[in-house]
């Protein structure tokens, strides 16, 4: 089969689609990390995606619970913590992913100012969750979006 046939039918083979998505045909980056003894950073990068996906899913459930509840009353503690906790997990995971990506590239992790902002924002979101028991649901959502 020639390359013209492969490029035309790449979408019919799911494995080939994954290779195109990850764009690492020769595994050169992973081999280089293995020889430089940085392979654990790739494992860290892969495993930090699990709490990120859990946080995204829980945040979606939290937003759904906010908008299906009574919008005139303050959020109940369980829904407030579901929303703030899941957003904090997302932000913290994104900060770790940023630091891991910088480390995989061979740069110093301390240079990641964006990750520090994400960690700080996760803390702010948790503080809003602690003290936001009196805020109406729409105001709470606005605060989360502004954080």
Contact 38, 103 (CB under 8 A): yes
For residue 32, the model assigns a pLDDT of: 61
Show the domain range for 124.
38-146
* Residues 24 and 96 grouped into a single domain: no
Write out pLDDT tens, residues 76-103: 999 999 999 999 999 999 988 888 877 6
Specify whether 54 is located in the same domain as 118.
yes
Q: How many domains does the chain have?
A: 2
For residues 26 and 53, membership in a common domain is answered with no
**Positions of the chain with pLDDT under 70:** 1-34, 36-38, 103-111
Pair (113, 64) in one structural domain? yes
pTM: 0.71
1 and 56 assigned to the same domain: no
User: What phi and psi values does residue 74 have, to the nearest 5 degrees?
Assistant: -60, 155
Residues 91 and 138 in one domain: yes
Which one, of 111, 20, 67, lies nearest residue 9 by Cα? Answer: 20
Same domain, 80 and 115: yes
The rounded distance, in Å, linking the Cα atoms of 2 and 28 is: 24
Same domain, 78 and 6: no
Contacts of 79 (CB under 8 A, 6+ apart): 62, 65, 66, 69
Residue positions counted in the chain: 147
């Amino acid at each position: 089969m020639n390359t013209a046939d492969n490029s035309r039918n790449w979408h019919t083979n799911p494995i080939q689609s994954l290779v195109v998505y990850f764009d690492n045909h020769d595994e050169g980056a992973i081999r280089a990390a293995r020889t430089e003894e940085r392979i654990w950073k790739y494992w860290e990068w892969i495993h930090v995606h699990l709490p990120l996906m859990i946080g995204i899913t829980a945040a979606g459930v939290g937003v759904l619970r906010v908008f299906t509840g009574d919008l005139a009353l303050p959020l109940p503690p369980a829904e407030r913590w579901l929303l703030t906790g899941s957003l904090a997990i997302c932000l913290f995971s994104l900060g770790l992913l940023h630091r891991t990506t910088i480390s995989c590239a061979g740069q110093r992790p301390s240079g990641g100012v964006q990750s520090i902002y994400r960690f700080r924002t996760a803390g702010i979101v948790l503080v809003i969750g602690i003290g936001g028991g009196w805020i109406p649901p729409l105001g709470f959502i606005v605060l989360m979006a502004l954080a």
